[in-house]
Amino acid sequence: MALKDDILKVMGGEHVAAVATIGDGRPAVRFMLLAGMDDLTLIGATMKSFRKVSQLKKNPAAAISIWSGREFNDPYVVIEAQAEVHEDLETKKKYWHPELEQYFQKPENPDYVVLKFLPQRIELYHDMTMDVWTK
């Protein structure tokens, strides 16, 4: 339980994360705002028309890295995850918040989708060591 708590100290709540997907046989990395949930799932909103969505539909494997960014030696996590693309209105409403209005106007926008990243393995780097959580 302590390892999960230590991981949540790094990835819990909202963070800018580096998200890598595979497209055309090559990796592609971009920054996304993701919310880390208590069950270690990560949730993010994006536009259906963005390249990462088609890449994740084709190959749901993703790699994600989150660092607090405060001090050079602060802990960070590297996550291997399986992605789900949710286009249903129920899920879109569940994760909707007012900050999304500037991008999507309302949850019913067909270009608004929710990405859910289900971790399979999480490496926590801290104090010159690495601990590993696996599903």
* Domain definitions of the chain by residue range: 2-134
**CB-based contact 49:30 (threshold 8 Å):** no
Which tens digits make up the pLDDT trace of 63-100? Answer: 999 997 778 889 999 999 999 999 999 999 999 999 99
CATH architecture of the region 2-134? Roll (2.30)
Identify the burial level of 111 via C-beta atoms within 10 angstroms of its C-beta, where 0-12 means exposed, 13-18 middle and 19 or more buried: middle
Taking 70 as the threshold, does the pLDDT of residue 129 lie above it?
Answer: yes
Which tens digits make up the pLDDT trace of 12-51? Answer: 999 999 999 998 888 999 999 999 999 999 999 999 999 9
Predicted TM-score (pTM) of the model is 0.94
